[in-house]
Amino acid sequence: MTPVNNQYKDRLFKFIFGNPNNKKWTLSLYNAVNGSNYTDENDITLNTIEDVVYMHMKNDVSFLINDTMNLYEQQSSFNPNMPLRFFIYGGMLYGKFARRFGNRIYSSALLRAPTPRCICFYNGPDDKEDRVVLKLSDCFKEGSKPDIEVTVLMININYGRNKELLDSCKPLNDYSWFVSKIIEKQRENEGDLETAIDDALAEMPDDSVIKQFLLDNQEEVKQMCITEFNDELYAAQRLEEGIEIGIERGRKQGLEEGLEQGEINAKKAMAEKLFKKGWSVEEVAELLGIPVVDVEIWLSSN
């Protein structure tokens, strides 16, 4: 298999729907999600968080339109912590928004801010409902009454799910088909991901609105898919191995303690792997949801 480009961190969803040269697809996705009918792609102002500015914190796609702050994330594995991540991303974006008005944020006059809209597009292997609402309050102690709440609408975009939505957004339908076809072809090719991507592109219907764009950027698309699929597979494998180790230790030390140690072992192994692949310490820490100092200690001990 062709080695992964260690410096390439973008993902296919962002490449398609967060591309400033193809904002018509972003607009199509917005219209499908909200039941609107905007036609001028210039109504969209992309403001996706990039790690260069925000200390290695970045989201997939975010944009302003019609006084709405839209935050879109794509996830190929279920993550119940998405509301917490959206809370962090939202804080960054609204901080940037507030800086435009200087000291007016401290005045007695109400400063009108764009309304947040948080959407997670899910296309992982777990059988999830078509639409699920995730809440930040689920992260807190049961029975507590937090003063801050964030809700995230998770939409299942696996091919064949949410048909009405996918039918109303051709680029999203094509993206869903393409990801599904890669998985199908990978099984047929005994796990050969690169061949699976080529085969999926070759079989993509000619009326696909994103086909020519993908073909024009075929090598870049392959690097994105290979990086994403390999990271997902490795994370799953290492976590499973770590849990197995934890269970074995749990027989001697107590199951709860063993499982905790197993998860730590899995995260250590994944941190080492990602760091060798070119990820920064900050990126590894953000992905694993642990302090930067812990990652630094793990890496320095090797």
Q: What residues does each domain of the chain span? A: 12-216, 235-302
- Kindly report, residue by residue over 206-247, the tens digit of the pLDDT: 999 999 999 999 888 888 777 665 555 545 555 555 555 555
Percent of the chain with pLDDT over 70: 80
Q: Residue 267's pLDDT is what?
A: 80
Q: What average pLDDT does the segment 21-26 reach?
A: 94
The model's confidence at residue 268, banded by pLDDT at 50, 70 and 90, is: confident
The C-alpha atoms of residue 29 and residue 72 are separated, in whole angstroms, by 10
Express the helix, strand and coil content of the chain in percent, nearest 5 each.
55, 10, 35
Q: What average pLDDT does the segment 158-170 reach?
A: 96
The C-alpha atoms of residue 79 and residue 76 are separated, in whole angstroms, by 9
Q: Residue 53's pLDDT is what?
A: 41
Q: Residue 226's pLDDT is what?
A: 72
Three-class HEC string of 106-141: HCCCCCCCCEEEEEEEECCCCCCCCEEEEEHHHHCC
Q: Residue 232's pLDDT is what?
A: 53
Among the listed residues 198, 20, 36, the one whose alpha carbon sits nearest the alpha carbon of residue 28: 36
Say if residue 123's pLDDT is above 80. Answer: yes
The C-alpha atoms of residue 281 and residue 272 are separated, in whole angstroms, by 10
Strand extents, DSSP E, the chain: 45-46, 61-65, 68-75, 115-122, 131-135, 151-156
Say if residue 256's pLDDT is above 80. Answer: no
The C-alpha atoms of residue 41 and residue 25 are separated, in whole angstroms, by 9
Q: Residue 229's pLDDT is what?
A: 56
pTM greater than the 0.85 cutoff: no
Task: Give me the amino acid identity at 129.
Answer: E
- Kindly report, residue by residue over 169-195, the tens digit of the pLDDT: 999 999 999 999 998 988 887 778 888
Among the listed residues 177, 171, 202, the one whose alpha carbon sits nearest the alpha carbon of residue 189: 202
- Taking all residues of the chain, what is their mean pLDDT, rounded to a whole number? 82
3-state secondary structure of 45: strand
Q: Name which of 105-114, 127-136, 231-240, 281-290 the model is least confident about.
A: 231-240
The model's confidence at residue 114, banded by pLDDT at 50, 70 and 90, is: very high
The CA–CA distances, whole Å, from 97 to 32, 85, 214 equal: 26, 18, 34
For residue 61, the cross-strand partners are: 72
Among the listed residues 221, 139, 172, 174, the one whose alpha carbon sits nearest the alpha carbon of residue 72: 172
Q: Residue 212's pLDDT is what?
A: 94
